Structure 1
Amino acid sequence: MKFLKASNEDGFTLIEMLIVLLIISVLILITIPNVTRHFESINEKGCSALVQMVQGQVEAYKIDFKTTPTIQDLVDNEYLNDDKTSCPNGDEIVIQSDGSVSVK
């Protein structure tokens, strides 16, 4: 009777799995700091774009009502939604007496 010997076993060895886990860990350690830096940049750009949009709504309100609005005036007259009165990072948007829009 002949015994068949498996010459080619399928699967990974423990060393191969550890090498793969090491490579994945290194990649994660490299990417996480880069991703957090990009979130800061995205928030800054989003806030800048929101300020420009509110400035446009202030100008439209001034044309319609011949007066400088407050943020609440813009919300009440549906020039802005309630969620557009502050930046994504939490900074409040304010309208100066001359109609210019800035971040507090």
Structure 2
Amino acid sequence: MKKLKKIKVKGFTLIEMLVVLLIISILLLLFVPNLSKQKENAKQTGNAVVVKVVEGQAELYELQNEGEASLSRLVETGAITEAQAQAYNEYYAKNTNQSRTVKP
């Protein structure tokens, strides 16, 4: 029993723990907004790639069918998916200064 009383365990003080938690909180406040911005940039880049796919499918449709391609026709024929059509519309909703090559 005397041996247990003589052994001192070093631990963190309350002040040290508060300082560590403060530093972690500050780092989280700095990095979390940046991560959400990067997520939005990745989605925007993905939508830009989908726009290229849709435009390519529209050009292929026009060459094969000798008619004007629209998003609804491309979806009906299975050239693009509904999700691709939605991403195409989202891209041009955010970038209104650009002209569309495929009509909705």
Q: TM-score, normalised by structure 2?
A: 0.73
Report the CA distance between 1:15 and its aligned residue.
1.9
Letter in 2 for 1:44: Q
Deviation of 1:91 (Å): 4.7
Q: Tell me, which stretches of 5 or more residues in structure 2 are unaligned?
A: 94-99
Matches within 5 A, 1:46-65: 46-65=46-65
Could you say if the C-alpha distance between residues 9 and 70 of structure 1 is closer, same or farther in structure 2, counting changes exceeding 3 Å?
A: same
Residue 6 and residue 23 in structure 1: after superposition, are their counterparts in 2 closer, same or farther (change >3 A)? farther
User: What residue number does 2:96 align with?
Assistant: none
Length, aligned pairs only: 97
Distance in 1 separating the partners of 2:78 and 2:89 = 23
Structure 1 residues 78 and 43: CA distance shift in structure 2, 3 A: same
Structural RMSD (CA): 2.9
Give, in angstroms, the shift of residue 62 of structure 1: 1.4
User: Identity, % of aligned pairs?
Assistant: 32
Task: Map 1:1-40; keep pairs closer than 5 Å.
Answer: 3-4=2-3, 5-40=5-40
CA contact (8 A) 1:43 1:89 kept: no
> Conserved in 2, the CA contact under 8 Å of 1:86 and 1:92?
no
TM-score, with normalisation over the residues of structure 1? 0.73
Greater share of strand residues, 1 or 2?
1
CA distance in 1, matches of 2:21, 2:71: 52
